[in-house]
Amino acid sequence: MAKKCVRILHTTSNTVIADGPVGWGITPFEGNYYIRRRHLVSDGFRVNYLPGLCVYKFLYVWLDFVAPDGAISKNLGWKYWLPNPLFPFIWFRVGVPRSHHEIEVQEYDCAGADVR
């Protein structure tokens, strides 16, 4: 069985946000993807300091995505700053929703791909 990878695109600017293997690198959870820093291709996420609280994952802040052309997508991602210790796959990772209208997820086979 070949390992599965995903490429996450910002459709408005056609920018690759993340690319890597599904699992510890890019973790799907509750309809979202939690992306490890080494698999973030773009450096477009900026903290906007708008806090949020999940009753079981705890405290997070929203992230805006700034495309290479300067266009800003408000609250496109988030990062847990005080995460629940029972969920290590969300600790300090960028989270993005799989079903957002500005996000496209492409799944492909990692066989032969350069997976870090």
- Fill in the DSSP letter of residue 4: E
User: For 36-59, what is each residue's pLDDT tens digit?
Assistant: 999 999 999 999 999 999 999 999
* pLDDT tens digits, 71-111: 999 999 999 999 999 999 999 899 999 999 999 999 999 87
**Distance (Å, rounded) from C-alpha 25 to C-alpha 116?**
9
What CATH class has 4-109?
A: mainly beta
Which parts of the chain fold into alpha helices (H)? Answer: none
Q: Is pLDDT larger for residue 24 or for residue 115?
A: 24
pLDDT at 94: 97
Residue 1 has pLDDT above 70, yes or no: no
Backbone angles phi, psi at 76, to 5 degrees: -80, -25
CB atoms within 10 A of CB 97: 16
Task: Report yes or no: 24 and 4 within 8 Å, Cβ to Cβ.
Answer: no
pLDDT at 116: 52
Where along the chain do its domains lie?
Answer: 4-109
